[in-house]
A and B are shown apart, each in its own frame.
Chain A
Amino acid sequence: MPVNPPELSPPVPVVPHPDPPSPEALMAMEEDMRRREVTLADGRSLSFYDFVPREED
């Protein structure tokens, strides 16, 4: 008489994790973001975003 094999639980996948943030990435989050609006002669406007080290109070 055939016997059903015991039910196997699905294999647990090994889920990749991103590398921890580098010191540069951590520093980037401390920068000040500055938006500079420029309006051209034809009326179009552009928003330039720059990032600079945070100024101390």
Chain B
Amino acid sequence: MSERRWHPLLGEWVVTATHRQDRTFLPPPDYCPLCPTRPGGFPTEVPQADYRFVVFDNKFPSMRSPAPEVAVEGNDLHPVAPAEGACEVVLYTPEHGGSLGAMSIPDIARLVRVWTDRYQNLGARPGIECVFIFENRGEAIGVTIHHPHGQIYAFPFIPPRIERERSQAEAHAHRTGRCLMCDVVADETKDGRRLVVEGEHFVAFIPFFARYPYETWLVSKQHRASLAELSRAESLDLACVLKNLLQRFDGLWQRPFPYMMVMHQAPTASSAAVGDHLHIEFYPPMRTPVKMKYLAGCESGAGTFINDTLPEDKAAELRQVILP
């Protein structure tokens, strides 16, 4: 069962996906469904003995096309819609024990090209408005399969977080005539205290307004609305800065650093707005090696984050990590 139900108080969709209760949960490495199917081994989701990068529909999707019939009838107060869309899995490597940060820069650069192709391919499908690329890493944020992989959701609407970001950017552009993210990048690079690593075309920093202790943004220094607008040099620099940042995360406490990685870029259903500016946001759930930052009453119930740390201090910690 899968459908969209309208939340009238927040003005946003909630997706139900009851079949996901039965999805694969922390399988032992010998039975990883995302490894290649080895000769004589058990059949995985990839029926080949090896692969470089492979993308396929999530076996337990919250949205798909064609969407199943809705389970309940809606009404004016409670509209219901089929959960049209797509949910894809992106396998980064056939190596079960790898990670995005451990991949070579050439392989991360190739992955950037795969992401770009999926953004364009999914975005060209009828009814798709927003292609959302993300990765959940670590059991701390609910990962159920450890094999290095990311996900892509193709939404038939613009999700509320991205819609709100665009609305703020539009208001800023109306007021100043400039892109909001371009102004944020200019301010962060001028100030310097929250920078983590800076490449020729991309820069990573903990934003002035960070909600999580190690929340880090990786942003194109030039105004680029999406991956599709990057030059080859820019794609390669994205790979270099991304790897450098992920190595700092893992080096901070000398252990795999859990995070949510989400990419924001221009929706695909219409031409880009002035405030659409490609960037990746990382939300690491840990505030110390053994303490989590929970989204508790104030964050979940009021929508106001309480950050127990100063972004300037956390950025300095990440800058000081010695890379391997």
Q: Given the known A-B contacts A16-B319, A51-B110, are A25 and B52 also in contact in the complex, defined by CB atoms under 8 Å? A: no
Q: Is B292 part of the contact surface with A, judged by Cβ < 8 Å?
A: no
Are A15 and B319 within 8 A (Cβ)? yes
Are A13 and B54 within 8 A (Cβ)? no
Residues of B within 8 A of A27 (CB): 106
Are A13 and B57 within 8 A (Cβ)? no
Are A44 and B56 within 8 A (Cβ)? yes
Query: B280-320: which have CB < 8 Å to A?
Result: 315-316, 319
Are A13 and B236 within 8 A (Cβ)? no
Are B235 and A29 within 8 A (Cβ)? yes
Tally inter-chain residue pairs, CB-CB below 8 A: 93
Are A25 and B105 within 8 A (Cβ)? yes
A34 to chain B, nearest CB (A): 10
B194 to chain A, nearest CB (A): 9
Residues of A within 8 A of B57 (CB): 44-45
Q: Is A7 part of the contact surface with B, judged by Cβ < 8 Å?
A: no
Q: Is A2 part of the contact surface with B, judged by Cβ < 8 Å?
A: no
B197 to chain A, nearest CB (A): 5
Q: How far is the CA of A28 from the CA of B105 in the complex (A)?
A: 9
Are A29 and B232 within 8 A (Cβ)? yes
Are B105 and A13 within 8 A (Cβ)? no
Q: Given the known A-B contacts A18-B197, A21-B236, A29-B232, are A46 and B117 also in contact in the complex, defined by CB atoms under 8 Å? A: no
Number of A residues near B (Cβ < 8 Å) is: 30
Q: Is A1 part of the contact surface with B, judged by Cβ < 8 Å?
A: no
Residues of A within 8 A of B107 (CB): 28
Q: Is B114 part of the contact surface with A, judged by Cβ < 8 Å?
A: yes
Are B319 and A17 within 8 A (Cβ)? no
The residue from B46, B197, B198 contacting A46, defined by CB atoms under 8 A apart: B46
The residue from A22, A40, A48 contacting B53, defined by CB atoms under 8 A apart: A48
Are A22 and B47 within 8 A (Cβ)? no
The residue from B45, B198, B239 contacting A17, defined by CB atoms under 8 A apart: B198
The residue from B51, B53, B110, B199 contacting A28, defined by CB atoms under 8 A apart: B110
Q: How far is the CA of A44 from the CA of B117 in the complex (A)?
A: 19
Residues of A within 8 A of B235 (CB): 29
Residues of B within 8 A of A26 (CB): 236
Residue of B nearest to A11 (CB): B193
Residues of A within 8 A of B110 (CB): 28, 31, 33, 49, 51
Are A33 and B113 within 8 A (Cβ)? yes
Query: B194-236: which have CB < 8 Å to A?
Result: 195-199, 232-233, 235-236
Q: Is A14 part of the contact surface with B, judged by Cβ < 8 Å?
A: yes
A13 to chain B, nearest CB (A): 5
Q: Is B263 part of the contact surface with A, judged by Cβ < 8 Å?
A: no
Residues of B within 8 A of A16 (CB): 196-198, 244, 319
Q: Given the known A-B contacts A13-B319, A45-B56, A49-B54, are A25 and B195 also in contact in the complex, defined by CB atoms under 8 Å? A: no
Chain B residues within CB distance 8 Å of chain A? 45-48, 51-57, 104-107, 109-110, 113-114, 117, 192-193, 195-199, 232-233, 235-237, 239-241, 243-244, 315-316, 319
